[in-house]
A and B are shown apart, each in its own frame.
Chain A
């Protein structure tokens, strides 16, 4: 399994298990220094799939927000261009799909550890296969980092994959 830390502190794009199983009951562990972080994948196939928006700004809040009330309802989709505004600034957007065979994970840590020695448990709170990528005022293009990032697994496969004669 290959994991990329993508973009924000809570979004991970994660390759699905090779065997096709509707219930992926995996636990994934990683360790740094003294502590171990456990990533509970749980029932990825049954997890919530709310829409995910990637905004070109940093919002200093980690918690719930009235996304559908204020944001999704105000999105205009016209002439192949998605527009909306956030805090009075104009945004232009585009749907971006996760790389083929990958699933986006939104992770949640229910109990923050008191020290970096303590083991941590992080669970999947929802999953996504595509998200809306928003740019400030200019339409997203294939030159945007996040859009380009989605092509990496294919390139990695070409570089590192086994070669058949």
Chain B
């Protein structure tokens, strides 16, 4: 596949939490394998978060080292692209898969009635990818992963979920284990492609694509967020609404929106629901119209004598 075609491949399928993967090398189905997990785009207020796995036979670890993979954060975009190309060329013994969590998935999950936080979302993405490798027949014996939340708890969770697989959860795993570095490169390349060629579902014309790195403290990201704030809708789905940066901007500059499960304004909500003031009990008895029957109040029907 040409690089351009590959890029299109990423763009077309990124929209709703999708999975991308290489073919499974035959050798991974017959010999014991190691697998690395890493993510890209956890911190930014814009764009998707990408989870990546990379796997190869344990006895080919040295061959992977020779590709000179390193932690994706220490590499330039071009270096990452080249390394991804090399990994793809090593398809005789290296396989990869990616889970792309769209910013809309992140927003709606984190803002769900029963909150689904980013750590849980991350754990589930990682577990889903390991399960995918197992389902494809990869003979998994070792899993290496950078920690999300407390390392021990995460290690226990993964070990219990995948008995028979030795799980190593380690901070900075992406610079310690080449198989994790390889996973981080796949994830970061996918995230870059998705962000650089984002196709807005909204009907926006001539969107300024200068949104910088997407990190909340990047001046370009900041000014982009200022420029594209809509007073009613807030932002396109490209922006993560669950980030405090976004919430602060919307609180300051957008119109207020109340949901029935808002916690912070219970009192105001009560006021809006017409809870009577104590004083009303002392008012002179002018018990107005008789109370509407439940049949009508449940259907929010009122007979109308004034607008």
Contacts and interface: CB of A to CB of B under 8 A. Distances in A.
B153 to A, nearest CB: 28
Contact of B203 (A57, A68, A86): A68
Interface stretch (A16-24, A70-78, A124-132): A70-78
A82 interface: no
A57 B259 contact: yes
A90 B259 CA distance: 12
A85 B107 contact: yes
Interface string B233-245: 1101100111000
- Lowest 5 CB-CB distances: which A-B pairs, in order? A88-B241, A88-B107, A70-B233, A90-B108, A149-B299
Interface residues of B, number: 42
Contacts of B301: 4-6, 149, 152
Contacts, number: 115
Interface residues on A, range: 35 or more
Interface string A58-78: 111100011011110110100
A86 B302 CA distance: 28
Interface of B: 16, 104, 107-108, 110-113, 201-204, 230-234, 236-237, 240-242, 246, 250, 255-261, 272, 298-307
Q: Binding site of B, secondary structure by majority: helix, strand, loop or mixed?
A: loop
A80 interface: no
Nearest to A147: B299
B233 A71 contact: yes
A88 B231 contact: no
Contacts of B305: 30, 32
A73 B300 contact: no
A148 B255 contact: no
Task: Determine which residue in A32, A70, A146 has the highest number of CB atoms from chain B within 10 A of its CB, and name it.
Answer: A70
A161 interface: no
20 contacts: A5-B301, A12-B304, A56-B260, A57-B259, A58-B257, A58-B258, A60-B255, A60-B256, A66-B230, A69-B204, A70-B233, A70-B236, A71-B233, A85-B108, A87-B233, A87-B257, A88-B107, A88-B108, A107-B307, A148-B299
Given A73-B201, A74-B201, A87-B250, A61 B302 contact: no
